[in-house]
Amino acid sequence: MAGLHSVGLGVGTRNGSGDWLEVFYPQPLLAPSEALQTVLSETLAYSSGNRAIELDDNHLETLAGALSGSGHEDMAAVARSLKGSARTPVITILASDEAPQSVPEVYLKLHLLSHRLVRPHGLVLDGMFGLLRNIAWTSEGPIDITELPGRQLKARLEGRTLSVDSVDKFPKMTDYVVPSGVRIGDTARIRLGAYLGEGTTVMHEGFINFNAGTEGPNMIEGRISAGVFVGSGSDLGGGCSTMGTLSGGGNIIISVGSECLIGANAGIGIPLGDRCTVEAGLYLTAGTRINLLDDNRQPVAETKARELAGKSDLLFRRNSLTGAVECLTNRSAVALNESLHANN
């Protein structure tokens, strides 16, 4: 059998029609060992392709016994813990990284990102939105939005209040994965599929979308849109934003290099290199006209922001007298406060 891409053993929720809503994988594996592949082949009759296989208690017992002898005791323990579950146990096997064809495949890939096994843009996620349902994420777990009124009435009749935290296709990351060495002020603002590197601090106004994140350490008080990755040591100020491909960035992949500062209420629609600074309140789009200044702070040329994409050591500011956007060499580097990033 050719080497598999990834495997996840977990438990999921279905709606009343039997359609998958979500899946939780406690310990997803990237590039599983040959021993594990042999176990999957022999115990589940798996041969090839990307598959999500529902498991009953007999499957789980057989799988747990086989895994115990293959060096995968942690996964064996997960298999045993799923016996008798009120929700559906499932194992998802990805033979290769292709566009997902099922909800269990989507959730396995989102877990791989949030477990830091794969960085943003490291997985094929094409077509995932068409597979995911809009779900009510509640105090009693995920509920199909069409079934929510009945569940709310049932709870009231039983003397309970069913609290709806959000209505979205994505859950919050921390209901599935809590990475080590991070601080998160408001967990509702981090979606499953976000990648938070060691030493990342996300303050209450910070937001990180799926397939996006930080290398760590970082201070995040602004918005990291889908597809955006922020390099180590960079600081996103309060209320600032990064333009993702979902919000009009086209085919340009927006990223932020190392030791950058995006000021409060600023924003970028171009990728930044290392050690760049964007003045507070300044939003750079690809078409923003910029005056280039020499070492004497004198204008020498005019260009559009897209021509400076990915270049390092730049300071972007607005001239307080003329209102023109200017760019000059950034002579100061951003240094994060180490005490603020002690997230152990």
pLDDT in tens, 61-85: 999 999 987 788 999 999 999 999 9
Q: Quick check: bond before 179 cis, omega within 30? A: no
Instruction: Please give the C-alpha separations between residue 76 and each of 66, 71, 79, 217, in angstroms, as whole numbers.
Output: 8, 9, 5, 34
Give me the half-sphere count of Cα atoms (radius 13 Å) on the Cβ side of residue 41. Answer: 15
The residue ranges of the chain whose pLDDT is under 50 are 247-249, 334, 336-337, 339-341
Amino acid at 213: G
pLDDT at 248: 45
pLDDT at 249: 46
Domains and CATH numbers, the chain: 6-126 (3.30.70.2010), 136-168 (3.30.60.70), 173-341 (2.160.10.10)
pLDDT at 295: 82
Q: Which helix (H) or strand (E) holds 220?
A: strand 218-220
Q: In the annotation, is 221 catalytic?
A: yes
Continuous H helices in 236-297: none
pTM given for the model:
0.93
**Which residue among 221, 259, 302, 338 is the active-site one?**
221
- Residues written for the chain: 344
CA atoms of 93 and 4, how far apart (whole Å): 8
Closest CA to 299 of 266, 274, 331, 321: 321
